[in-house]
Amino acid sequence: MYDIIGDVHGHADQLLTLLKKLGYEKKFGVWRHAERQLISVGDLIDRGPGQRETVDTLRAMVDAGSAQVIMGNHELNAVAWALPDGQGDYLRKHSAGNLKHHREFLLQAKPESDWYNSTLAWFRQLPLYLDLPECRIVHACWHEPSKQVVDDHTGPANRLRDEAAWYAAHDHEHQLHHAIETLCKGLEVALPDGLHFHDKAGVKRTAMRTRWWQEHSAKYRDLALGVEPLHSLPDREIPNTVMPGYAADKPVFFGHYWMRGAPHVLTPQVACLDWSVTQPNGRLVAYRYDGEQQLSNDKFIWVMT
């Protein structure tokens, strides 16, 4: 069946260690397993010291049929960084803030190189999600309304189908932009009554990212991610039309959220696989999935940073 892994962010040493721990062996230049296939939730790049090796390892596995990789927000951003917007700039602005997040990849990838251009072309072919018979894979949030919008701009392999779709995906007035932001970066809800908070970078925010998978509460304080202090948020429920919830008709796996501590399922059908590999004492995590519809904590396997 599948070994589903979280955000690697260029930590190639941990990736190779995890592959070995999962029983993959390198044969004819490609990591393979006799009975299983690897699935990556995306975010292969940015931050870590081995970004080219990470991409080359997983790309070779995809080409050989021993892995699947979906689009993370960092792959999405990397393509947009290099695509001109037709008005003298790029789809992802070359601002100081954006460069800070992407600098390490640019240093290692060398934008003048054939490798860089080939890698961006490969990123453009990555699917935005996988809806498999047994389970679903998405980078940040499984959200049916957004998926339906995305499906209007993708082909059978769930890839953005043409240049026009890429431009629409970065047009802040286009519904595709908001849909892809939700799938790849998470579900945000606007704060009521003119409220705001400042994120860890000091940026003023008027919307908060949510624990969209949570079942037991719909209050702003309980669903907020990355908001401190929580008492700055209202202690009342988000309107039920805003939070559609997850149907939980089959398991869903995603990354993106920098979880801390020992890996565990979030609900019996929901598992995050991003456990902060970029942080000291973080983990690169896999879930060894065998088709079960009730997920279990004992199926997580990881290596420490």
Strand pairing category for 252-254 and 136-138: parallel
Answer whether residue 183 is part of any domain: no
Same domain? For 107 and 199 the reply is no
> Is 216 part of a structural domain of the chain?
yes
Residue 231 lies in a domain: yes
Q: Containing domain of residue 222, as a range?
A: 188-242
Say which CATH number the domain at 170 has: 3.60.21.10
Q: Are residues 109 and 159 in the same domain?
A: yes
| 182 domain residue, yes or no | no
Q: Are residues 106 and 234 in the same domain?
A: no
Pair (137, 233) in one structural domain: no
Q: Which of 201, 220, 242 is the last residue of a domain?
A: 242
Q: CA of 137: how far to CAs of 191, 269, 271, in Å?
A: 28, 12, 10
R_g of the chain, CA atoms, integer Å = 19
pLDDT at position 242: 78
**Considering the domain boundaries, does residue 67 fall inside one?**
yes
- Whether 96 maps to a domain, the answer reads yes
DSSP 239: P
What pLDDT does 216 receive? 73
Do 171 and 265 share a structural domain?
yes
Is there a contact between 42 and 255 (Cβ–Cβ < 8 Å)? yes
Helix (H) or strand (E) holding 120, with range, is helix 114-124
Domain membership of residue 227 (yes or no) is yes
Based on the domain organization, do 152 and 280 belong to the same domain? yes
**193 and 90 part of one domain:** no
What is the residue whose two structure tokens read 């948020």? 233
User: Same domain for 129 and 75?
Assistant: yes
- Which candidate, 244, 238, 271, 245, places its Cα nearest to that of 256? 271
CB burial string 30-58: b at 16+ within 10 A, e below = bbbbeebebbbbbbbbbbbebbbbbbebb
263 and 172 share one domain: yes
Q: pLDDT tens digits, residue range 114-131?
A: 999 999 999 999 999 999
Both 144 and 60 in a single domain?
Answer: yes
Domain stop point among 204, 227, 242? 242
**pLDDT at residue 214 in the model:** 84
| Domain finish residue from 242, 263, 284 | 242
Q: How many structural domains are present in the chain?
A: 2
Q: Indicate whether 215 and 253 sit together in one domain.
A: no
Residue 63 lies in a domain: yes
Same structural domain, 80 and 192: no
Q: From 22, 10, 77, select the one nearest 47 (Cα to Cα).
A: 10
The pLDDT value given to residue 228: 79
Question: pLDDT means per 10 residues in the chain (305 residues)?
Answer: 98 98 97 98 97 98 98 98 94 95 97 98 98 98 96 95 95 97 95 83 85 84 85 84 84 96 96 96 97 98 95
Per-residue pLDDT, 85: 93
